[in-house]
Homo-oligomer: A and B are copies of this chain.
Amino acid sequence: MSRFLSWEAQRLAPYTPGEQPQDQQYIKLNTNESPFPPSPKAVEAVRGVEAEKLYLYSDPLCTGLNRALAKRYGLKPENVISGNGSDEILGFAFRAFCGTGTGVAYADITYGFYQAQAALFGLEALVVPLREDFSLNVEDYMEFPGTIVLANPNAPTGMMVPPSEIRRLLEKNPARLVIVDEAYVDFGGESCVPLIPEYDNLLVVHTMSKSRSLAGGRIGYALGSAELIADLNRVKYSFNPYNVNRLSLAAGTAAAEDEAYFQSCCAAVRETRAWTVNALEKLGFSVLPSLANFVFAKSDRLSGGELYGRLKENGILVRWFDKDRIRDYLRITIGSRAQMEALVEKLTELLEK
């Protein structure tokens, strides 16, 4: 720490991302990437970008990408903002919609970035415990007057609140914004996007890092009323007007347009997830009911930390959070069928020892 660090920055709670070894010696099941390459059309789009044109700024309005996303979701371009990953979009939303007098509420067990962003903007945060079984009770949020942020499905549990429950939150207090982070919704969850035309107090955040196989392209977006999107743009233009580069714009636009490939990848993940849950349960794991591209599972024999370490020694990376309530669990990304078979084989070995 330098002697110049501001009081506000001292107070930060930086997020620790999953390990990203660059040498690819691991079976990587730790950061919820897709096991599939991006849509061939996205790959082609990147190859087709005239890299010679990179001397020109990218389109700050992200016109093509926002248009493709609007079409995909049956909305208008003014209902869409794109960003450098959904982390950036969440940052814009935390700044736009939370502040003095408007705190933020989120679950005790959820995406760790909400805490980081709340600290970044000095927000008063209400941390609401999930139920004992890790389900989220919307009643716990009913009277909260500030902005509510829900990951749905939740991370790292994979569990989902039905949109009918979120509708109750939206109706209870129209003067309160509900941000639904649907990073993992495409793997069998039910989206709140269809509620957008009905509720102007709903913002839905998506990412192309998971179901669109573009984690390395850094593309996220939010969907909501034109007024909410205008507010987010107000923050964007105060922070980074050219926030999405030319190559990612091309990749993201093509990916948004390739519905068939997207659907087939999501279906494959669901199928492999079912196989994996079954295999883990046979090995004595308790597995939370996941609708995401990962499962959250606890062994009846080894602790989470020990299993994490043993798997890593054996070339398999999973995510372990050394944190109350979930210390015994591992978050395991659903990779390819072959990767999951390798995982199950290794686990069988480790647990039989």
Residues of A within 8 A of B (CB): 1-9, 12-17, 20, 22, 28, 31, 33-38, 42-43, 46-47, 49, 51-61, 63, 84-85, 87-88, 91, 95-102, 116-117, 119-121, 147, 175, 177, 200-201, 209, 213-218, 225, 227-228, 230-231, 233-248, 251
Contacts and interface: CB of A to CB of B under 8 A. Distances in A.
Contacts of A2: 200, 225, 227-228, 230-231
Q: Copy number of this protein in the oligomer?
A: 2
Contact of A55 (B12, B20, B37): B37
A203 to B, nearest CB: 9
A216 B55 contact: yes
B175 A100 contact: no
A235 B117 CA distance: 10
Contact of A33 (B13, B56, B247, B251): B56
A252 B156 CA distance: 34
Given A17-B242, A99-B7, A239-B91, A217 B43 contact: no
Nearest to A208: B54
Nearest to A225: B2
A97 B58 CA distance: 29
B242 A4 contact: no
Given A231-B5, A238-B12, A51 B46 contact: yes
Given A57-B216, A120-B235, 15 more contacts: A1-B227, A2-B225, A4-B102, A6-B102, A9-B95, A37-B55, A42-B51, A46-B54, A55-B213, A55-B214, A84-B84, A84-B218, A87-B240, A117-B238, A245-B247
